[in-house]
Structure 1
Amino acid sequence: MLRVLVENLPPDGATARANNGHAWRQIDYGVADSRDLLHLLLTAFVNANRDPKKGGGALPWPQPSWRPGDPVPDEAKADQDKARAKAAYEHILAQTKGE
């Protein structure tokens, strides 16, 4: 009887999430796949329509987004990226205040 109850639990329920170790549902994977495809298409469009006379190389192909089971991004690198983004933002603000 217990086996029948467990087999009929929803695939995105609390028991399945605890068993999988993450809370991603099938729709979350679909959204991540759609985002990755959109980035690929945008990169392909920009690379196909760039002017080779103006110089500059083609854009690099985007990396797929993170999914459960992938290695966790390095937090030190994330902190470094945040600091660099904040410095760039402050640089832009300093330029606009001077005008």
Structure 2
Amino acid sequence: MLRVLVENLPPDSATARANNGHAWQALDYAAADTRDLLALLLTAFVNANRDPKKPPMAYPKPGWRPGDPVPEERAAAAEEKEAKARAAYEHILAATKGD
């Protein structure tokens, strides 16, 4: 019964924000999508009208959305992945030296 009550709360209620971890609503996502699309269109326009001797402009990355990792989390995950790869490589080297 309580679950049904919580599921039917408005998306901007305190309970919904606590459950989602953010206060973004559909309009916020639509605005972020619009900004990303405009950035893509501007880049495509600039690339289409650039001097042919110059390199094309890089396409922009999409903006941050709730649930996306923040840069600190990305850096920590990359360091962890690198450490695991290094440990695996050293393990392989140690195993081949024993032969």
Q: So what's the TM-score if we normalise by structure 1?
A: 0.65
Higher relative contact order (CA 8 A, sep 6+): 1
The structural deviation recorded for 1:8 is 2.5
Percent identity reads 74
The CA distance in 1 between the partners of 2:3 and 2:39, in whole Å, is 44
Q: Using a 3 Å threshold, how does the CA distance of structure 1 residues 7 and 44 change in structure 2: closer, same or farther?
A: same
Pairing 1:27–2:30 present: no
Distance 1:69 1:7 in 2: 20
Q: Which residue of 2 is the match for residue 37 of structure 1?
A: 37
For residues 1-99 of structure 1, what are the structure 2 equivalents within 5 Å?
2-52=2-52, 55-74=53-72
Which secondary structure state, in structure 2, belongs to the residue aligned with residue 10 of structure 1?
coil
Q: Which runs of 4+ in 1 moved over 6 A?
A: none
Deviation at 1:13, TM superposition (A): 1.4
2: CA distance between counterparts of 1:33 and 1:5? 31
The structure with the largest alpha-carbon Rg is 2
What value does the CA root-mean-square deviation take over the aligned residues?
A: 2.1
Instruction: State the Cα distance separating 1:43 from its structure 2 match.
Output: 0.2
Three-state SS of the structure 1 residue aligned to 2:71 is coil
Gaps of 5+ in 2: 76-99
Offset at 1:3? Answer: 4.5
Partners of 1:22 and 1:3 lie apart in 2 by 20
Structure 1 runs not aligned, ≥5 long = 78-99
